[in-house]
């Protein structure tokens, strides 16, 4: 394993153990067993490294957000895919260690102040919208229409953030996947049809 991979692994561990804001360059370099300068050489900044680690965890299944077999099943109904995906997400949010989820939110606050971090997060959100839309529709990601990604994907990303915050604040009162589904169904009944 090269320095770059060691740094990514160390950054992931630091995100889980310390969170985004409390992780220092020294924490990462000491854990990786490399010099602090290696962070700048391979990633440009601590924030860029932490974002890369965060996106790798979110996209690689380490977070619990990768689709379950049922959510990814092309023969599953939309309701089955939605319920499977959100049940998996709820389990991830309600897990033992919530530091990773807090780090995820911290990265948004950092992005508010730092344009380069904002650029990385924005790209990550685009990937997230596309990926979650693909899972929910059962359509290959490259085949999902941009309008569907923009609408369905954006709503799902908003739900993801909102539910994550509720789980961090009080997991006992956060909604279940079934409650989310019923809430969306109720919302659909009271919103005007735009077609």
Q: Look up residue 176 and give its DSSP letter.
A: P
Q: Is residue 195 part of a domain?
A: no
Residue 108 included in any domain: yes
Give the pLDDT of residue 59.
60
Provide the pLDDT for residue 36.
94
Question: What CATH number did the domain enclosing 6 receive?
Answer: 1.10.10.60
Report, as an integer, the average pLDDT of 111-116: 84
Separation CA 49–CA 146 (nearest Å): 29
Q: Over 80: is that where the pLDDT of 64 sits?
A: no
Q: How large is the C-alpha radius of gyration of the chain? A: 18
| Co-location of 82 and 13 in the same domain | no
pLDDT number for residue 21: 84
User: What confidence tens digit (pLDDT) does each residue in 1-38 have?
Assistant: 899 999 999 999 998 888 888 899 999 999 999 999 99
The domain in which residue 20 lies consists of 1-54
Coil, helix or strand at residue 44: coil
Pair 138, 175 in one domain: yes
Q: What is the pLDDT of residue 149?
A: 96
Question: Per the structure, how many domains does the chain have?
Answer: 2
Q: Is 110 inside any structural domain?
A: yes
**With contact defined as beta carbons under 8 Å apart, do 79 and 150 qualify?**
no
CA distance 122 to 66: 19
Alpha helix locations (H) across the chain?
3-18, 25-32, 37-43, 46-60, 69-72, 78-93, 99-113, 115-137, 146-148, 154-169, 177-190
- Among 18, 34, 54, the domain-final residue is 54
Q: Is the dihedral of CA 149, 150, 156, 162 positive or negative?
A: positive
């Amino acid at each position: 394993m090269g320095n770059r991979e060691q740094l990514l692994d160390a950054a992931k561990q630091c995100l889980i153990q310390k969170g985004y804001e409390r992780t220092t360059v020294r924490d990462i370099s000491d854990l990786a067993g490399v010099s602090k300068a290696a962070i700048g050489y391979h990633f440009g900044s601590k924030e860029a490294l932490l974002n890369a680690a965060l996106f790798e965890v979110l996209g690689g299944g380490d977070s619990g957000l990768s689709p379950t077999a049922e959510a990814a099943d092309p023969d599953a109904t939309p309701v089955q895919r939605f319920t499977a995906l959100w049940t998996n997400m709820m389990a991830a949010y309600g897990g033992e260690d919530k530091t990773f989820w807090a780090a995820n939110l911290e990265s948004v606050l950092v992005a508010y102040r730092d344009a380069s971090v904002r650029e990385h997060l924005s790209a990550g959100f685009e990937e997230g919208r596309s990926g979650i839309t693909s899972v929910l529709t059962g359509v290959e990601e490259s085949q999902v229409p941009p309008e569907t990604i923009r609408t369905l994907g954006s709503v799902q990303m908003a739900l993801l953030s909102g539910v994550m915050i509720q789980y961090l604040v009080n997991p006992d009162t956060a909604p279940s996947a079934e409650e989310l589904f019923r809430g969306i169904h109720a919302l659909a009944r009271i919103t005007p049809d735009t077609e």
